[in-house]
Structure 1
Amino acid sequence: MAEMITAPAAFQATAAIDPEAIAVRSIGGDQSLSWGQYAAQVRAVAGGLAALGVGRGDTVALMMANRVEFYPLEVGAQHAGATSFSVYNTLTAQQLNYVFTNAGNRIVICEAQYVDRIRASGVPIETIVCVDHAVPGTLSVAQLTCLARSDFDFDATWQAVTGDDIVTLCYTSGTTGNPKGVEISHANLSFECQAYASVMPVEFGDRITSYLPSAHMADRVTGLYLHEYFGSQITAVPDRALLGAALVDVRPTIWGAVPRVWEKLKAGVEFAVAGETDPARKAALAWALEVADRKAQAQLAGVPLDDVQAAEWAKADELVLSALRAKLGLDQLKWALSGAAPIPAETLGFFFGLGIPISEVWGMSELTCVASVSPPTQARLGTVGKLLPGLESTIAEDGEFLVRGPLVMREYRGEPGKTAEALTDGWLATGDIVTQDADGYLRVVDRKKELIINSGGKNMSPANIENTIKAATPLIGALATIGDRRPYNTALIVLDAESAEPYAAQHNLTDASAASLVAHPEVIAEIARGVAAGNTHLSRVEQIKRFVILPVFWEPGGDEITLTMKLRRNPIADKYAADIERMYAPDRDTDVHEPSTEQASTPA
């Protein structure tokens, strides 16, 4: 097993490799930190926090967008011996009260816009540090660092951190109840980074973007901890609307995304091709995508391309696809990954056909993030690879996947009952139904608690149904499959907010609001075709027979979707109970739709 290295020790070794190299930057590079500057700021921040009484075992909260200033503040807190963690910027004052009370922090480092909300939480925060501009009663970062005492022993402080110390808390945005604070130790983190990099190599100078919220464990691992351990260069993306520009600016060598981001990139390519006005260029794109699709279908079927098809793909790559990858900013990737939720196999196939193989990973905060992956050369589309070396697994009688090993969290902070439910003799009950083939490749079926059992007793995975339907049309942002104890499956469908505007523009629709679009015959027909196309990939009992398109967009952190884009199924069932009952009524209302009876063999 690799040597345990704490996050501060890893950072110190990494920062010494090339102090002049750029460690963190903004899009375009107007703002940047070299490793040497970064290390100096870390020392200063640790000294300031120590002067405020922060030491080993204390907690420090951060609340800000993805920005260059975040890094020396977070890493400085680590060097003071603290447990540093981020909260989602969308949390209400009431939610902040719960998280801060559970975490026990008395210091928050944030942007000025969040100061009033933090104060309204009612938690007795002793010190608020503002990273951008002054707010009365708060400290600036400069004032914080000026507090450092001349006798502060920086090296002794960070060297006192041990593997058993808690490096971070990750508050899981559960689909029910309050979030649970997952305690991740330095030993957990050290194993995660080194085991992951043994499969998906990360080298000093590799380029990546940080655009997911830093409260999301996926961003903490890929955009902070791998950076500390191996020296990747981070470009901070403060607004996801800037992600497209950031990818072209950075041309990342390693990059990951949640499925919805990959789906949006796919939709962007499809919309761009559909909207191409030059006939010759449109014909070339259509030809190249057709060739790419043949490669994708072969990969999904597990069969190689024949020599003629392989030669045609190479030609399409030379003439069109390489330029398409460059236009996306994904032409220099060593590896790409998708995680945090199941991704449609069709989406993986689409990018594979473009020459961008994606490794799907599986894990959870309770397993320090990533627990299974396979390198792109060994990836099998539709699987989440194999467990990282050093982990062991078993499958319980009810099909639940259990994992044991160095990635398993310490506990849920302040929740001994919930910890005992999750951990038995070191085995973590993941809550996922997972199958494993003879070669050790894992397939995630669904969450154990979310399986549908229809009135005929058939077990189904709603996530599989939803991913299959979503893959058929970029217009669908989310859908919730209904069918538990019902005679057939139906769906509540919500349009994709980011696809709605370009779709409306291409179809000369003046109003891109959800309420307007869901009533438009063209939109209804497009969704109906997409549902029918998705249904062709599902067994008869799984197929969606009726659906309602809701006149709203579902926002992450709202009633229907968590901040990590998971459906809140019980609240959805309660909130839309009337719509659900209408889908099962003998006489179908005019706004209850059925899949199109038109040709639906190809996704729209």
Structure 2
Amino acid sequence: MVWPTACSSGRSSIPPCRCSPAVPRAPRDAGRRSRPWSCGDEVVDLAKGLVASGISPGHRVAVMARTRYEWTVLSYALWTVGAEVVPIYPTSSREQVEWILRDAACVAVVVEDEQAVMTVGSVCASLPRLRHVWQLDADALEDLRERGRMIPLATVESLRRIVLPDSTAVVAYTSGTTGRPLGCALSHRGLASPVDTLLEGWRQITAAPGEQPSVLAFLPFSHVYGLMIQCLCIRGGLLMAHEPDLGEEALAAALQSFRPTYFYAVPSVFEKIYKNFLRAAQQSGRGALFERAADTARDFALACERQRLGEGPGPGFDLRLQHALYERTVYRRLRAALGGRARRATSGGSTLGRELSLFYEGIGMYVHDGYGLTETSGGITMQPLGREKSGTVGRPLPGVDLRVADDGEILVRGSSVFQGYVNDEAASRAALHGGWLATGDLGQLDADGYLTITGRKKDIIVTASGKSVAPAALEHRLRMHPLIHQAVVVGDNRPCVGALLTLDPQFLAHWRGVLLAQQDPSVREAREENALREEIARAVAAANSTVSRSESIRVFRVLPEPFDLANGLLTPSMKLRRDEIVRRYAMEIDAMYQARSAGARHTPAEDLLNWDDSDNVFR
């Protein structure tokens, strides 16, 4: 097996670890980008250093670093000696770091740089069990290897053998969108189960025949999705590159340099890539061409989907001809921006919209949208090969039982379900009922067993008239407009549904540039505001077209700054802190509803869209 412990397969040897940084960061990293090599010796040497430092089976060690090679080697070394890994986002606040280290009773923490050392140092007084703070950028791992030189290999082997499949491997903390993060205890068996199932059924799609499968790891290993990808690469022998910088330029350079055969990301990344394609096309004067190509891609993918599901004959001659033309002029260029070799991808973390999924399939890179959560050690559904259905998250993996309760909540049972929340028996009892995990997610199963996620149970909005509204679909539809960066639907105990919006700064600058070229500078500011109102109103109207009138957005406000980590409105896993957003912008929310009730002025956008009693309020 590839875990340095025993697992359900019964094998226990440590195989070669095939991984590399995407872009060399220092001379000693040179060549790792393209040459796989065995890191098994590095894992064992580091494990010896951990033993010499007093790390024993059952000890919890936090890792607070970006996605980098040392993260992978360190996690396997910790598992080798029976320790439990506690991932912490490097962007976590001082309070979050203190809470996790104390709640998990960590005896050591591995950080990346001096700033992180200072963050941990500021809370050490409240952490009596914390004995070690190791800094990666100060050669801490090399120091550990040096310390462990006198530890015999037999000591490490004996520790590895006593780690059982149901021993805890990871304590992964939830996002904490509505309160304190909860530590999910995940076993070795739980982590291995979905990974092995995916490898058995889907490994062949990770590369073309005869090619070495390769994956660019850039999403945080602090999230169970990133951790699952790491384990999948190690267990499946996929070449894995590490890219710690999540900036667009660094990611684009890594994709061009490493050229992965398989791509994985979260929906916001796929949305951003699409918007960048559109913006680049418009800036080069090919915006109309791109939009026609995108429409053709979606039409082609839809026809292909109906054919594979037995609902249609497939693309007709004219559509195939159009698609072939755009393949030569547009689609292959889009794939080249992602390295050029990936023909399949996976989206996780939240649901991917159907239109976006059809677009990517149509340009020649099908995106498998799956479903999972921290409490299930990662993925529990996947698209069945040859029967993929966009807009759904596929079917339950073999070995996973899934059903939808009467109130729409998704219930899951299987070997990957977590062991419980550490130090919180009440929360564990509330989540686990007779072996079934209450996920907190709402969904629907169609007649063929495909699951569609409709939202989070705790996010449901109930208006003053008693109408229940799931915000996820509306928010996704709003974000598909290139100008809109983020959207939060509100309306609890209000007369109608409203929305708080932030704008994409890059696309806004591009949009303003186009508008400026078309208008007299002396009247530009007033016309720009009106034009922006109308453009956003069109986006809202497009979102409203997907829901009933009682669920539609009647009021909205554009905010001057995004929701981000710095202002505390996003979790480290980039999820919206909805309660905090509503509290922070309570005055703005009150103002937009009061304006509507008072019969505020009608704007050109309202006349254009013929909204009854609508109000567009910009700040």
With normalisation by structure 1, the TM-score equals 0.88
Match of 2:160 among 158, 161, 165: 158
Structure 2 SS opposite 1:15: coil
Structure 2 CA distance for aligned equivalents of residues 397 and 147 of structure 1: 58
| Change beyond 3 A, Cα 1:508–1:81 | farther
- Taking only aligned residues, the RMSD between alpha carbons, in angstroms, comes to 3.0
Match of 2:428 among 407, 411, 419: 419
Q: Which residue of 2 aligns with 1:571?
A: 580
Match of 1:201 among 193, 200, 203: 203
Q: Which region of structure 1 is more displaced relative to structure 2, 413-422 or 499-508?
A: 499-508
1:501 offset after TM fit, Å?
4.9
| Change beyond 3 A, Cα 1:488–1:231 | same
Q: Which residue of 2 aligns with 1:87?
A: 88
- Any residues of structure 2 matched to 1:15-414 within 5 Å, and which? 15-16=15-16, 23-27=19-23, 30=30, 32=32, 36-113=37-114, 114-122=116-124, 123-124=127-128, 125-133=130-138, 140-148=140-148, 149-153=150-154, 154-201=156-203, 205-222=212-229, 224-241=230-247, 242-277=250-285, 285=290, 287-296=292-301, 298=303, 304-329=314-339, 331-375=340-384, 377-414=386-423
Paired residues of 1:363 and 1:370 also in contact (CA < 8 A): yes
| Change beyond 3 A, Cα 1:496–1:377 | farther
Give the letter for the 1:40 counterpart: D
Give the letter for the 2:199 counterpart: A
Give the letter for the 1:325 counterpart: R
Q: Does 1:490 align with 2:498?
A: yes
1:483 offset after TM fit, Å?
2.3
Structure 2 CA distance for aligned equivalents of residues 469 and 382 of structure 1: 16
1:328 offset after TM fit, Å?
2.9
| Change beyond 3 A, Cα 1:9–1:25 | farther
| Change beyond 3 A, Cα 1:386–1:599 | same
| Change beyond 3 A, Cα 1:581–1:493 | same
Q: Does 1:466 align with 2:475?
A: yes
- Any residues of structure 2 matched to 1:442-461 within 5 Å, and which? 442-461=451-470
Q: Does 1:441 align with 2:450?
A: yes
Give the letter for the 1:151 counterpart: P
Paired residues of 1:81 and 1:157 also in contact (CA < 8 A): yes
| Change beyond 3 A, Cα 1:505–1:214 | farther
Structure 2 SS opposite 1:227: helix
Paired residues of 1:299 and 1:381 also in contact (CA < 8 A): no
Q: How many residues align?
A: 576
Structure 2 SS opposite 1:377: coil
Q: Does 1:530 align with 2:539?
A: yes
Q: Which region of structure 1 is more displaced relative to structure 2, 489-498 or 113-122?
A: 489-498
Paired residues of 1:6 and 1:161 also in contact (CA < 8 A): no
Could you list the per-position Cα deviations for residues 382-408 of structure 1 after superposition, in whole angstroms to 9, with x for gaps in the alignment? Answer: 111001101112322322111111011
Structure 1 CA distance for aligned equivalents of residues 471 and 228 of structure 2: 29
Paired residues of 2:278 and 2:287 also in contact (CA < 8 A): no
Match of 2:608 among 597, 600, 604: 597
Structure 2 SS opposite 1:463: helix
Could you tell me which runs of 5 or more consecutive residues in structure 1 were left unpaired when the two chains were aligned: 135-139, 510-515
Q: Which residue of 1 aligns with 2:485?
A: 477
Could you list the per-position Cα deviations for residues 410-464 of structure 1 after superposition, in whole angstroms to 9, with x for gaps in the alignment? Answer: 0111111100100111110011111111211001111112222333333321111
Could you tell me which runs of 5 or more consecutive residues in structure 2 were left unpaired when the two chains were aligned: 518-524, 612-619
Give the letter for the 1:128 counterpart: V
1:580 offset after TM fit, Å?
1.2
Give the letter for the 2:454 counterpart: V
| Change beyond 3 A, Cα 1:596–1:271 | farther
Structure 2 CA distance for aligned equivalents of residues 226 and 451 of structure 1: 34
Could you list the per-position Cα deviations for residues 312-354 of structure 1 after superposition, in whole angstroms to 9, with x for gaps in the alignment? Answer: 212321343123211332x322521111112222211221221
Structure 2 SS opposite 1:32: coil
Structure 1 SS opposite 2:62: strand
Structure 2 CA distance for aligned equivalents of residues 419 and 593 of structure 1: 53
Structure 1 CA distance for aligned equivalents of residues 132 and 560 of structure 2: 44
Could you list the per-position Cα deviations for residues 129-185 of structure 1 after superposition, in whole angstroms to 9, with x for gaps in the alignment? Answer: 221137xxxxx2222111113334222222222101111111111211110111110
Structure 2 CA distance for aligned equivalents of residues 297 and 404 of structure 1: 33
Give the letter for the 2:20 counterpart: V
Paired residues of 1:359 and 1:376 also in contact (CA < 8 A): no
Structure 2 CA distance for aligned equivalents of residues 189 and 208 of structure 1: 19
| Change beyond 3 A, Cα 1:274–1:517 | farther
Structure 1 SS opposite 2:368: strand
Structure 1 SS opposite 2:72: helix
1:552 offset after TM fit, Å?
0.8
Q: Percent identity?
A: 28
1:35 offset after TM fit, Å?
5.7
